[in-house]
Chains A and B, each alone.
Chain A
Amino acid sequence: METVLQHPLFIPILMTLIIIGVFPLLAGYLVLVERKVLADFQVRLGPMRVGPHGFLQPIADALKLFLKEDILPSEADRAIFWMAPVISTFTALSAFAVIPFAPSLYVADVNVGLLVISATSAVGILGIILGGWASNSHYPLLGGLRSAAQLVSYEVALSLALISGVMMAGTLSMVGIVEAQRSRGVWFAFDNFGLMLVPFTVYVISAIAETNRAPFDLPEAESELVAGFHTEYSGFRWALYFLAEYANIFVVSSVAITLFWGGWLRPFPNVGFLEVPLNYVFPALLMLGSGAGSFLLLKNLKSSTQKAVLAAIAVVLITTGLLFLIPAVNQALIGLFWFFLKVAVMVYALIWFRGTFPRFRYDQLMNIGWKYMIPIGMGAILVNAVVGIALANPKF
């Protein structure tokens, strides 16, 4: 047993299994959160029937998708039609391999980690356009063409935004980037007198376009293209596309957090006296508060099974909050806590954009990409390079 635990491949294999096993569930709950938040923006309730406040809705959805008929269009190119969603899901999940969730919780620390993520997202484009082509139908083909043009355009702006961050870190390794922020004592988003917020903005806008989300969701614009490239997909294959989409959302949020917002670091990572309030009191208060809030919701529920489920959730939240007060557990989990908290804020912001902005027209999309994002990204590189060098050499 000891030799198994000490083996250098133990953590990577364990992390791989956890990611593959847990992410589909997480994606289901991301969908639920998105539906609930959008419902809140539109003054609706959202899913309410399955479980307390729709808490078990993702499981019902997943079951439905498993059991649905798998339709293969008769004129479709069978092999490619089968492969396309697999390509999307495979590339989206393999990007997780280089994301550091906590100081030692990652599958691999590659010295070109950021480029590996770019590469996986570049291959992921193929899943979308091949799926659109293989369906042998007009709307999917148009959706596939649109997304090919859109993704290739915004990939440039995305890379330019990443370069600014890499320049500050001096390394492409994801762990190295976080360590560089720790040694500088500031998250990169606030470095260079706040100038790094410019590439961060460019990154977020391009990332939304790169993940095909509103307001840049032209490849799947319902009012024009039915459902875009996945119009002909149903059942489990469609679910694979959906899984890939949410995995991509999670990946771009994680990259933004790692590169600009300090990854697993707490706010003010080098200020010693903030350790207790931020690493112990804050997570405990957050979890206990949510648990207490869930208990308060109990009295509004009528069905006794729903009450039981909600009570169980509340107990889990309170136990987690109490666990964070134990120093040994806290040491192990606090990195994970900050990482996921920041990713959650980022994902919430992406949902917020979706709920707020109307969809852009196709020419507006291309204008924003080529005439604004790319020049701003290039300018950000120049300015941040000069300011960064000036800050590093005080004699200038």
Chain B
Amino acid sequence: MLETAFFYLFALLTLGGGVLMITRRSAVHSAIWLIVSLMGVAGLYLLQQAEFLFAVQIILYVGGIMVLFLFVIMLVNLDQAAKERQFVKPWWVALAVLLAIGGEFAYILRTNTGAFRFAVPVEQPPPAGGNTEILADVLFSQYLLPFEIASLLLLVAVVGSVIMARKRA
């Protein structure tokens, strides 16, 4: 009961934050609503008993990425941009795309009615050993290669950004 209530609360935060993010004029307000949305996602992770993902979602997205977003937004003077209506000009393109995708979804949903079912809650015992430990075990044994490839990609990005910063200076 309580979990259901929390689920809807976090879902509301996620979706409401997302909608408000794209409708706000001020870039800083948009960023704040994006933060709210990301926090809602973190809450959903927590409900799924993925505590590690919950904490990492907040530390990385809210504490790292969004702080840098705000940093850039605050440096750029966006008052001028906020007054213009440039973001919503090609509204008929958006409408056409929306209708096309909506029609596609409606068609698929109608032809494959049986394929979509509501998920049935499964009585699962909480995994022994804790979320973080299991994640670490899986990352460093079963999925070692993808993990290392991702690390390499990040390393390339770090080195690349350092080199680009060097050139400008």
Contacts and interface: CB of A to CB of B under 8 A. Distances in A.
Note whether A and B form a binding pair: yes
Interface of A: 77, 80, 110-112, 115-116, 118-119, 121-123, 125-126, 129-130, 132-133, 141, 144-145, 148-149, 151-152, 155, 171-172
B75 A145 contact: yes
Nearest to B129: A111
A292 to B, nearest CB: 48
Contact of A141 (B62, B64, B74, B131): B74
A152 B67 contact: yes
Interface stretch (B49-57, B81-89, B93-101, B140-148): B49-57
Given A111-B130, A126-B62, A144-B74, A119 B67 contact: no
Nearest to B39: A123
A293 to B, nearest CB: 45
Nearest to B42: A119
Interface string B34-72: 010000000000000001101110110011101110110
Interface string B76-115: 0000000000000000000000000000000000000000
A122 B62 contact: yes
Nearest to A170: B133
Contact of B51 (A111, A122, A132, A144): A111
Interface residues of B, number: 25
Contact of B67 (A112, A126, A172): A126
Given A144-B74, A145-B74, A172-B132, A118 B67 contact: no
Nearest to A149: B71
Contacts of B131: 111-112
B15 interface: no
Contacts of B64: 122, 152, 155
Interface of B: 26, 28-29, 32, 35, 51-52, 54-56, 58-59, 62-64, 66-68, 70-71, 74-75, 130-132
A83 B51 CA distance: 27
A154 to B, nearest CB: 12
A144 to B, nearest CB: 7
Contacts of B68: 148, 152
The 7 lowest CB-CB distance pairs between A and B, nearest first, are A122-B63, A115-B55, A119-B58, A112-B51, A148-B71, A111-B130, A112-B55
Contacts of B29: 80
B59 A122 contact: yes
A123 B29 CA distance: 16
B58 A122 contact: yes
A54 to B, nearest CB: 38
B52 A129 contact: no
A130 B71 CA distance: 10
B55 A80 contact: no
Contacts of A171: 130
A77 B70 CA distance: 15
Given A111-B51, A133-B74, A148 B58 contact: no
B66 to A, nearest CB: 8
Given A111-B131, A112-B132, A148 B70 contact: yes
Contact of B71 (A111, A129, A172): A129
Given A129-B71, A148-B70, A80 B32 contact: yes
A80 B29 CA distance: 9
6 contacts: A80-B32, A122-B59, A123-B63, A125-B63, A148-B71, A172-B132
